[in-house]
Amino acid sequence: MTRILIADDNEFVRRALKALIESHKEWNVVGEAKDGQDAIERVRELHPDIVVLDLAMPRMNGLEAARELAKIEPELPVLLCTVQFSSYVVEEARKSGVRGAVPKAEAGQITQALTALIDHHTFYSQVRAS
């Protein structure tokens, strides 16, 4: 069973991600966080296998949280799941130690990304031209 922590400041999004994740019988959401600082505290407490982080959160955004998580648990895979998906965000995510980045609107890619991270791969969605 893969243990996943979700960090997003929007409760509706957390519930939707939890439903998506738990539709896979081998995945379990072990905790939720409402911002980056809360995510770090929950990681220390729960020791998840993967963390799904939103980018824009209060107190500490997803990239800042990813940098801190890389210091305390360098092997912990982090997936950035954001509405503000762009080539700049993907590049900053890579620099921050994030192993995957996907747009929130792409449920199928979220699933693909989690599968890739579980298999010790990276997964970065393609940025679509506007």
Q: What is the pLDDT along the chain (130 residues), one digit of tens a residue?
A: 999 999 999 999 999 999 999 999 999 999 999 999 999 999 999 999 999 999 999 999 999 999 999 999 999 999 999 999 999 999 999 999 999 999 998 989 999 999 999 999 999 998 775 5
What are the angstrom distances between the C-alpha of 71 and each of 44, 45, 68? 12, 16, 5
Q: What is the pLDDT of residue 107?
A: 87
Q: Which domain holds residue 109?
A: 2-124
Name the strand (E) or helix (H) holding 123. Answer: strand 123-124
Beta bridge partners of 14: none
Whether 89 is covered by a domain: the verdict is yes
d(CA 52, CA 62): 9
- Give the CATH number of the domain where residue 118 resides: 3.40.50.2300
Whether 129 is covered by a domain: the verdict is no
Are the beta carbons of 80 and 55 closer than 8 angstroms? yes
65's CB contacts (< 8 A; 6+ apart) are 7, 36, 37, 39, 40, 53, 57
Whether 130 is covered by a domain: the verdict is no
Q: What is the pLDDT of residue 37?
A: 97
d(CA 107, CA 113): 10
Type of residue at 88: Y
Q: What is the pLDDT of residue 31?
A: 98
Name the strand (E) or helix (H) holding 13. Answer: helix 11-22
Are the beta carbons of 81 and 17 closer than 8 angstroms? yes
Q: What is the pLDDT of residue 130?
A: 54
Whether 13 is covered by a domain: the verdict is yes
Whole-prediction pTM value? 0.95
Q: How many domains does the chain have?
A: 1
